[in-house]
Structure 1
Amino acid sequence: MRQYKKVETTELDKVFCNKCGKEILREADFLHVEKRWGYFSGKDNEVHEFDLCEECYDAWISDFSIPVEKK
């Protein structure tokens, strides 16, 4: 006799840029940010997560007063 159990899995289907809303193709590179805010931050223990396509990342960092370090 065989007994089976139902196993649910979750796998990534699609990624969308949070800024422009376009789908990020699987072969493209992108920025993923996940931040758990600490106490005394005004966002106590909230986790914020977003993805940016390379184009939106480039536009975002172009506004930085201090440029990103490139190695």
Structure 2
Amino acid sequence: MEDTMDKKVHEIYCNSCGKKIETTDNIKREDYLSIKKEWGYFSKKDGEIHSIFLCESCYDIWTKQFKLPVKVEKQTELL
């Protein structure tokens, strides 16, 4: 019998659509983009740390709006 008390559930939500992305023991059940930015002296946000998460669907919608496309490289070895 597996002890469910040992498993920690981390709730992550997409900042754009609000969708819940659940992971168990830091294992992704669905992939997402995580961005953490520490703003510096030359910004209007000096001293602030911003963190966002985007689900794959919202990432696709967001990047389609870019003037310059995202650089995509294929991995030859997947772990």
The TM-score normalised by the length of structure 2 is 0.72
Match status 1:48 vs 2:50: yes
Structure 2 unpaired stretches of 5+ = 1-7, 24-28, 74-79
The structure 1 segments of at least 4 consecutive aligned residues displaced by more than 3 Å after TM superposition are none
Unaligned runs of 5+ in 1: 1-10
1:44-63: CA deviation from partner (whole Å, max 9, x where unpaired): 12100010000000000000
Q: CA RMSD in A?
A: 1.3
Give the residue type in structure 1 aligned to 2:14.
Answer: C
Structure of greater Rg = 1
Select the structure that is richer in strand: 2
Q: 1:40 to 1:12 in 2, by over 3 A?
A: farther
Contact 2:9 2:22 in 1 (8 A): no
**1-structure distance, mates of 2:10, 2:31:** 15
Higher relative contact order (CA 8 A, sep 6+): 1
TM, length-normalised to structure 1: 0.79
Would you say how many aligned residue pairs link Structure 1 and Structure 2?
61
Q: Tell me what 2:14 maps to.
A: 17
Percent of aligned pairs with the same residue? 46
